[in-house]
Structure 1
Amino acid sequence: MAKAATADDVAADAPKKSKKMLFIILAVVLLVVVGGAAAMFMMAGSHAEEGEDEHADEMSEEDPDAKALAAKKAKLKKKKEAEAKGLPPVFVELDPFTVNLAPETQVDQYLQVKASVKVEEQPAADNLKVYMPEIRHHVLMLLSGKKASELGTTEGREALAGEIRNSINAIVGEVPTNKKGEPEEPVGPVEAVLFTSFIVQ
């Protein structure tokens, strides 16, 4: 026959049960507090980014330097997002250019160039193709104004690549101005111009 529980047994079980319940309640409260703190931290971070963007927009309306800085930040942000997604860079091959160079001697000299343009993403590459007639016109004008002596060194060719990049970005991007109203380096999707063939004769 089962032994009836005494008052002492009941009294001994009560603290054990109350301790277990206390631990469960404490664990639940701790989880709620940690989860709430994490949610607030994430929300505060997103609000801070929004605040920065809004502040940059307000500043860009008043200050041309701030506008240029905001454009560069946006470009850098896009680049980081593309890298985070693991997206490879996109290259657009330009049709070859053949131009007469600016005269330096009595002998005519010409330049034949093949180049590819590196852009951030595919939509930017598609946009370049839309503007290609205008891009080719500006690049041809730029090339035909050069002298053979300017293009005879690595530095000269690198400088030319930078000028072509800026020329294209001025067409498909934007040209910020400084406080004096003078144009600065254009900001756009073109990251680099890469020569695949470069012949001066």
Structure 2
Amino acid sequence: MAEKAGKSKLIIILIAVIVFLVIVGGAAVWWFMMRSTVAPTPAQIAQQQAKQKLQNTKFIDLGSLVTNLQSTDGNTHYIQVQIQLKTYDPSVEASVKSYMPEIRNGILLLLSAQNADTVSQPTVRDQLLQKIKELVNKVLETDGGALAKPTPEKSPPIAAVYFASFVVQ
């Protein structure tokens, strides 16, 4: 009788081990079949990031700005520009609108310091675009000057600045 009880315990343990191994094996097969077997290449990752950037691209119109220019000939000269800001973060538009008076003031001061004779040169225009980009990013990153230093971020809020129109009289 004791021998029969020992055999039945051995059979129960053996069945439990077999059931356990079947469950573990099934879980392993499921794990390897369900997960991706091929890791994305760096080119695929870059392509996906570029696609996401393109989907998030937003242009913000600052409207038309008109101011007088510095003049060496004694005449009054004016500049009228329309500026577009490019961002990859759609939430930046709300910040730009919040700081619009400060941004426009800074740009007007920058434009009015230009010389009427040289402002139409392509290199001067490119420098103006870069200075406007730096000015806008500084305003946005320092909360309108409330913070002493810009907050360290991966990329600035404004990626590029474009002139939609540029007229000098």
Q: TM bucket by the smaller chain?
A: 0.5 to 0.7
The residue type paired with residue 163 of structure 2 is F
| Greater relative contact order structure (CA < 8 Å, 6+ sep) | 2
The structure where helix makes up a greater share of residues is: 1
Distance in 1 separating the partners of 2:54 and 2:121: 36
- TM-score w.r.t. the length of structure 1 is 0.53
Instruction: Give yes or no for contact 2:71–2:117 (8 Å, CA) kept in 1.
Output: no
How do residues 1-201 of structure 1 correspond to structure 2 at under 5 angstroms?
28=25, 31=28, 35=32, 83-84=51-52, 87-174=55-142, 188-201=156-169
The residue type paired with residue 89 of structure 1 is T
- TM-score w.r.t. the length of structure 2 is 0.62
- Offset of 1:123 from its aligned partner? 0.5
Unaligned 5+ residue runs, structure 1? Answer: 1-23, 43-79, 175-182
CA offsets per residue over residues 50-70 of structure 1, 9 Å max, x none?
Answer: xxxxxxxxxxxxxxxxxxxxx
- Offset of 1:85 from its aligned partner? 6.9
- Offset of 1:82 from its aligned partner? 7.3
The residue type paired with residue 136 of structure 2 is I
- Offset of 1:115 from its aligned partner? 1.3
Distance in 2 separating the partners of 1:166 and 1:152: 20
Equivalent residue of 2:118, what SS? Answer: helix
Residue 130 to residue 82, structure 1, CA distance change in 2 (3 Å): farther
Percent sequence identity over aligned pairs: 30
For the aligned residue pairs, the C-alpha RMSD in angstroms reads 3.5
Unaligned 5+ residue runs, structure 2? Answer: 1-20, 40-47, 143-149
